Structure 1
Amino acid sequence: MDRLNDASLMARPHPVRIDAVLDQPMDSLVFETAGVMPALKPYLTDGRATTEWILKHVPGMYEIAESHFGLIGGANMGSFILTMVRARLRAHGDPIVQVTPALQAMLTETDLAAELPAGFFRSPYPMVYIELARPNTLQVANKVSGLHECEGAYIGTYELPAGHGVFHNAARNRALNLDPAKPVRVIEVVITGSPIGKANALDDASQDIVLLVQDEDECLRAVLDRHIAWFHDPVAYAHPGMAPLDPDDVALVKPVIEQLAKVLLYLNLTDAEKLRVTERSDLLEKIRGLGPKKAAKFRRRMAGAYDRIVIGPAAFPEPEEPAGTGGGGGEAHRSIKAHWRRGHFRTIRYGEALSKRRLGWIKPVLVNAGQAFGGVKAKAYVVR
């Protein structure tokens, strides 16, 4: 089978697609062949070892980035970063969160409220891959192959102490209002673009972004806007192997980061809908005890199978009809075009003297949606 041009594999998210197409964990193979895996392995799940720190301090890693990928000195080090985050996701047990089409549509029509604190922008996993629903309008740029539809992102979180090496860049500290004498929460986001419509299943795109948060009570939108402004500055890419983002590419990054922020906010809701799909685990269980011929049938299906947590409703909410549209022979009313009434996340104060807070979501509403959304069928998810 030509896995490079297998349409079903091209539609899989990056961590699944890479393993399936290459028929092996390429990230592990690269680091084991280079002889750095024994030194690297303890840091793959280390909550204080950012990718930047690993590159600088784990013996042999800088040399891999420089010689194996040949990208130090001008080009974007996307291949190295992707290999690193794929290895880290594997070390954490491959947690993948898949967003339903209905939830993605609702989050797209949801605003980030001005008073929402940055503390709510927090992943429940130290390392996770967020798979966005497709098709969508979000894009990732590749200098060679052009624009790719965004398929999702790796998100890693690190809690770093005061005085950590992450504060080495004085210009970044000033631009992001960082105090080296205080601890910082680092969120590494590696956005991936789908190969659909491109040359083959490995013809994808990526963009890596680092967010740093010190004041958990600061407005989340202000934090994100400050980082986006920093990404426009060539000084942001002063460390080896990174090239400045084109202003047009920064414009593409902003809506992706905001959508991912809303996904993480949703995950922090107490009533978030979650469904565990154990597709790969179930196939492995079926293979156990089978003879070679029967087992081979299931192994062929293993290539693109993966376990994940599906979040969000399986269907769009019931539409709301505008007042006066019902029957009854009254005065004819002007036809109202189908539209979303936008939603928003908000902070809810509760407890004694309203000292506690939790996240709430006012969901967007489909108004007069029959004409536009009546034919939409949400994907059904079942537990296997």
Structure 2
Amino acid sequence: MNEMLFRELDRRARDFLVAVDSTMRTDRALPPARAARVGLIPAWRAWVGALRRRDGEVPAGFTLCADSDYGPPQAGEALTQLLVEAIRVHSPERHERLQQWEVQKLATLGMAAGLYLARPHAVIEPTAALQHWLVRTDIGSDVPASLFRLPMPAVFVRFGPEMAEAVDAALWAHIDTPVTTIGVYVFDTRVGSRRDQVFIPIGVKATPRPDQCDLPVIVQLIFTEERDPLMAHVASTSSGEGRLEAEDLKPAMEMCIKVMLYLQTAGAVRSDEMRGDDTMARLTRVGNRKVSRIERQLASRYNRIIVGPARIEQHAGGEISPHWRRGHLRMQPHGPQNSLRKLIFIAPTLIRADRLGHDAHADNGRLA
């Protein structure tokens, strides 16, 4: 290997490792926006290009793509191999003491951010009002798997305080300190006639520390028959690491599913704020060092879909104590002789809100 190629390999390996490491470091930016800001995609592609120049060819899976059959398993395996080789090239002493758990964590967070950015994508941001509804809403056992659809091939569902509080205790029970869920990556992947939905919840520890890292979990739903009951799949799932069972994972998965089902109901409130992809296209064409500060700032302005009403209208009821009546996402018969069925959302209702003596968003009423 000539000196010039050796130096390029070392530089590309270093840039790739810095980008992956920065992607997983907790800060105020959402994980996918952070990955765009640090230039994960151009660093990934530049490292693959350097390996191709060294070896003549590389496995096809090493190259990130938006194809529907290129999902988290393929991207995760590719990133694992790319990470190990980058560490071997740039930091041989670190390679000698590398632990499997360290690689898995780096690969999971880097894969999720990279695959998200490579696909058409958006951050889904439920309003505070919708979050208030959804934590008080149940999904009917008659809702089929076919109705769980993403608005984009890759989404990041942002969790606000109410949604996070509803899932944190179960989802992060295996962690020795309190963890807050900041969001969940969800990917739609097609494998022949099969449809896979991969969820990757991301959490941050409640007590910040220097160089703190995000915490990931991987869960996969496999749909081979779209008419199957959706929630039956959720009830039988487990995490990819085998550490968590269905009861631990169900609240976080259900919360994401509720958001997607709400989007498909009549009267759903939705506001799309999509930036053009010109900046991301420029970022993928240039080297990591050539990306200007302004371009990085522009890249951090992410696509987002704001979902739900801005506020909840409450109506007074009869002379009973104030309480919440739970909402429902379920199928409703309609059409000729009720032969057809459609998904409906019956929002939670605060009965006798006027008797609470303050804003209806307060949760001093009991839950029915």
Q: Deviations over 1:336-356 (max 9, x none)?
A: 1x3210011111334456554
Q: Is the 8 A contact 1:142 1:206 kept in 2?
A: no
- 2:220 and 2:31 mapped to 1: Cα distance? 19
User: Secondary structure in 2 aligned to 1:259?
Assistant: helix
Q: Is the 8 A contact 2:235 2:247 kept in 1?
A: no
**What TM-score results when the alignment is normalised by the length of structure 2?**
0.70
Change (3 A) 1:116 1:76: farther
Query: Which residue of structure 2 lines up, in the alignment, with residue 261 of structure 1?
Result: 257
What is the CA RMSD across the aligned residues, in angstroms? 3.7
Change (3 A) 1:55 1:133: closer
Query: Aligned AA for 1:210?
Result: Q
* Partner residue of 1:184 out of 180, 184, 194: 194
- Asked whether 1:105 is paired with 2:89, we answer no
- Asked whether 1:49 is paired with 2:80, we answer no
Q: Deviations over 1:283-339 (max 9, x none)?
A: x9xxxxxxxxxxx998897586433110001112x2233313xxxxxxxxxx61x32
Q: CA deviation at 1:109?
A: 0.5
Query: Which residue of structure 1 lines up, in the alignment, with residue 82 of structure 2?
Result: 64
- 2:35 and 2:100 mapped to 1: Cα distance? 26
Change (3 A) 1:354 1:201: farther
User: Secondary structure in 1 aligned to 2:151?
Assistant: coil
- Asked whether 1:314 is paired with 2:332, we answer no
User: Secondary structure in 2 aligned to 1:155?
Assistant: strand
Change (3 A) 1:354 1:246: closer
* Partner residue of 2:243 out of 242, 245, 266: 245
- 2:210 and 2:338 mapped to 1: Cα distance? 55
Query: Aligned AA for 2:352?
Result: N
User: Secondary structure in 2 aligned to 1:271?
Assistant: coil
- 2:211 and 2:126 mapped to 1: Cα distance? 22
Change (3 A) 1:300 1:155: closer
**What TM-score results when the alignment is normalised by the length of structure 1?**
0.67
- How many residues matched? 304
More helix by share: 2
- 1:298 and 1:48 mapped to 2: Cα distance? 34
Q: CA deviation at 1:74?
A: 5.4
- Asked whether 1:32 is paired with 2:46, we answer yes
- Asked whether 1:216 is paired with 2:226, we answer yes
Q: CA deviation at 1:155?
A: 0.8
Query: Which residue of structure 2 lines up, in the alignment, with residue 132 of structure 1?
Result: 159
* Partner residue of 1:374 out of 352, 359, 364: 359
Change (3 A) 1:303 1:51: closer
- 2:157 and 2:212 mapped to 1: Cα distance? 19
Q: CA deviation at 1:96?
A: 1.4
Q: Deviations over 1:191-232 (max 9, x none)?
A: 11145642258532111111101121121121110114xx4x
User: Secondary structure in 2 aligned to 1:122?
Assistant: coil
Change (3 A) 1:376 1:246: closer
Q: Deviations over 1:53-79 (max 9, x none)?
A: 3455x6xx4522545587774568232
Query: Which residue of structure 1 lines up, in the alignment, with residue 181 of structure 2?
Result: 150
Where in structure 1 are there 5+ consecutive unaligned residues?
A: 1-8, 162-182, 232-236, 238-242, 285-295, 325-334, 378-384
- 2:33 and 2:174 mapped to 1: Cα distance? 24
Query: Aligned AA for 1:264?
Result: M
- 2:107 and 2:159 mapped to 1: Cα distance? 23
- Asked whether 1:95 is paired with 2:122, we answer yes
- 2:106 and 2:73 mapped to 1: Cα distance? 14
User: Secondary structure in 2 aligned to 1:216?
Assistant: coil
Change (3 A) 1:95 1:297: closer
* Partner residue of 1:270 out of 266, 270, 294: 266
- 1:267 and 1:351 mapped to 2: Cα distance? 22
- 1:95 and 1:222 mapped to 2: Cα distance? 28
- 1:263 and 1:81 mapped to 2: Cα distance? 24
Q: Is the 8 A contact 1:110 1:363 kept in 2?
A: yes
Query: Which residue of structure 1 lines up, in the alignment, with residue 7 of structure 2?
Result: none
User: Secondary structure in 2 aligned to 1:81?
Assistant: helix
